[in-house]
Chains A and B, each alone.
Chain A
Amino acid sequence: MSIASTNRMTPYLFLAPAGLVLAFALFYPICYMIYASFLDWNPSQRIGEADLVGLRNYFKLFGDPAFRESLGVTLKFAAVVVTVEMFLGVGLALLLDRNIRGMSVLRTLFILPMMIAPIVVGLMWRYMYHPTVGIFNKTLKSWGFDGVPWLSNGDWAFASVVIADVWQWTPFIFILSLAALQSLPASAIEASKIDGATGWQQIIYIKLPLMLPVLIVTLLLRLIDSFKVLEVILVMTNGGPGLSTEILSLRINRTASEFRELGEAAAMSNLLLIVLLILTFTMFIYNKAQDARAARLRRVEEEA
């Protein structure tokens, strides 16, 4: 082999181990899942014994009101939590972006929820929401109010899981926004002060527009994550009451383990995967566009 062709091979050689791992850990399961979604497959069967049913699982899903409801709950959940978290996270970052004594301790405290295992978060909130011994109802009752059916009423249960998710994931948006905020050009903000901008005007006209690229990526990351949420809701409500908090990943879990319909569960997973792929591609394209724009500007600058 000539030296030139060896040199050309070198990068692929280095990439090969990672490629092998990816192939087994990622592509094999995905292909397995796609194949499984065309089967009428019961967990007691081996995959070879299951009947091939073509697209039947997919058609069944679209006709299934429970699946449609679950998809609706997921979309609603994702939209609500991400909106609330964005407002709170960015707001907190704007509020805490200053040099006051003890601020670093406060910042660390704010990001603690994110570091707790989701199962623990679920259990913690379930106890707090407990109708008689939970801290919320106990407090309400000691003030003379009626208790709230946190997890036993459909609407309240949805609100309860939203609150828990917001509690856990606002810090994620908070730290990314804070990092974005602190990397803004200080002199541009000073210039806006001289130009007569009030605190609010600085935020609206200077800080937020400059943070926008980071905020968009953060939003997409959170959106992707919120579609996959499972543990916290599993522990808190297990999807109930009724189907009020049954998000897609829970429905998939139930379809596989409770209804023993592995093929249908695989079809659902594939649909969820497609939604997530669309979001991921959006983010990818957005990043590409940003990079291309930066490269174009650099070129213009070099020419000038």
Chain B
Amino acid sequence: MPEIRLQNLRKDYGAVNVIENLNLEMADGEFTVLVGPSGCGKSTTLRMIAGLESVTGGEIMIGDRDVSKLEPKERDLAMVFQDYALYPHMNVAKNMSFALRLARMNKSDIETRVKEVAATLDLTAYLDRKPAELSGGQRQRVAMGRALVRDAGTFLFDEPLSNLDAKLRGQMRAELALMSQRIKKNMIYVTHDQVEAMTLGDKIVVMKFGEIMQAGTPEELYRSPANKFVAGFIGSPTMNFLNAELSDEGGVIIARGDGFAIPLPDSRKGALQAHKGRSIHLGIRPSGFVEGGGGLKMPVILSEYIGAQSVLISKLGDQQVAIEVNSVAPIRVGEEREFTVQGDEVHLFDPKTEVAL
């Protein structure tokens, strides 16, 4: 399986520029997730790779081949669509074998292949049914099966789970993860759901307005987001952002804001020297607050019980913050609780460029 490279990719719809200059490399056999809010260009990018959307400029390299001008069928890929895109007039077996029949593969080989894949997807009992006679989850699996039978070099997924209900989505996500472990192929997956992105991707590419905000492993994106957008997009519940000012107090850099003062670790001193005395944006994940310690006294405005965890909505000064705590002790609305924030849990962003400091 070849690696995939997007070089200076550009897409215009008439006078509207959707993607200006996209560069991305996907290693051989990597599961890449393109994620971002709607309208960020992730689906367009995927459709350009598929050949369903023309490329205005730049190249799409699969291995050494520039495929950007080739027909979809010449690109050696399989795709799973958001609405499954099954052929309504063909039964499951015919749907799955369509590509093989077009390729004039021999009949008994087709049958074996279809049966094999159907067995792995629990579809054997439904091979004679038409798509309309299947449930959403089964249709989803047929769409997956149709891609798998092909044995293509690259698999593309365009929000394949977004039409399923929450429970089924969780199930299918796990199945997908297992499948990608089993068949090591290039996979490119588009979603707007950061949980899907985090759980499935070897590499996550966060996009916004046709640009890549950050590309990296799920952990990199979570631990060290490159900018405020990625910080806010990855992680659930979302990161709290507060206004603060950096000051040097007796050799320690302190982020001071409305109702809080958090000393930052010495290791960041060098990088932060230039920003002393300036206002910055400060980001703390809801899980970055640790109970006790007496650093911050905060009122409980609202408590959302989730199970093992609860999310508290509280206030720091005038600004609302979410805090994730273990649901051990009962939480009463209105009570005041004490939290501390470790300096290494704090993310800092330039207020103008929103780039991480």
Does A197 lie within 8 Å of B102, measured CB to CB? yes
B81 at the interface (CB under 8 A from A): yes
Most buried by B among A191, A209, A301: A191
Does A205 lie within 8 Å of B132, measured CB to CB? no
Using known A-B contacts A185-B83, A304-B135, determine if residue A193 contacts B89 with beta carbons closer than 8 Å. Answer: no
A202 to chain B, nearest CB (A): 10
B322 at the interface (CB under 8 A from A): no
Does A209 lie within 8 Å of B89, measured CB to CB? yes
B73 at the interface (CB under 8 A from A): yes
A22 at the interface (CB under 8 A from B): no
A239 to chain B, nearest CB (A): 44
Fill in one digit per residue for B77-111: 1 if any A CB lies within 8 Å of its CB, else 0: 11101111111110000000011001100000000
Q: Using a CB-CB cutoff of 8 Å, which residues 263-286 of chain A contact chain B?
A: none
Choose from A194, A198, A209, A297 the contact partner of B79 (Cβ within 8 Å): A194
B138 at the interface (CB under 8 A from A): yes
Does A210 lie within 8 Å of B88, measured CB to CB? yes
Q: Chain B residue with minimal CB distance to A189? A: B85
Q: Using a CB-CB cutoff of 8 Å, which residues 222-274 of chain B contact chain A?
A: none
A4 at the interface (CB under 8 A from B): no
What residues on B are CB-neighbors of A192 within 8 Å?
87, 98
Does B71 lie within 8 Å of A193, measured CB to CB? yes
Taken together as a complex, chains A and B put the C-alpha atoms of A197 and B102 apart, in Å, by: 7
B50 at the interface (CB under 8 A from A): yes
A220 at the interface (CB under 8 A from B): no
Does B88 lie within 8 Å of A195, measured CB to CB? no
Choose from B51, B85, B130 the contact partner of A191 (Cβ within 8 Å): B85
Q: Using a CB-CB cutoff of 8 Å, which residues 43-80 of chain B contact chain A?
A: 50-52, 71-73, 77-79
A196 at the interface (CB under 8 A from B): yes
Q: Chain B residue with minimal CB distance to A299? A: B133
Does A187 lie within 8 Å of B85, measured CB to CB? yes
A226 to chain B, nearest CB (A): 28
A188 at the interface (CB under 8 A from B): yes
Does B72 lie within 8 Å of A194, measured CB to CB? yes
B178 to chain A, nearest CB (A): 24
Most buried by B among A194, A197, A198, A201: A194
Q: Using a CB-CB cutoff of 8 Å, which residues 168-211 of chain A contact chain B?
A: 185, 187-188, 190-198, 201, 205-206, 209-210
Does A194 lie within 8 Å of B78, measured CB to CB? yes
A106 at the interface (CB under 8 A from B): no
Fill in one digit per residue for A156-178: 1 if any B CB lies within 8 Å of its CB, else 0: 00000000000000000000000
Does B138 lie within 8 Å of A304, measured CB to CB? yes
Does A205 lie within 8 Å of B98, measured CB to CB? yes
B119 at the interface (CB under 8 A from A): no
A199 to chain B, nearest CB (A): 10
What residues on B are CB-neighbors of A21 within 8 Å?
none
What residues on A are CB-neighbors of B138 within 8 Å?
304
Residues of A within 8 A of B (CB): 185, 187-188, 190-198, 201, 205-206, 209-210, 212, 297, 300-301, 304
10 other A-B residue contacts (CB within 8 Å) besides A190-B85, A195-B102, A297-B133:
A187-B81, A187-B85, A190-B81, A193-B72, A194-B99, A196-B73, A201-B102, A205-B87, A304-B133, A304-B134
A-B contacts, 6 of them at CB < 8 A, read A194-B51, A194-B72, A195-B102, A195-B146, A197-B98, A201-B102
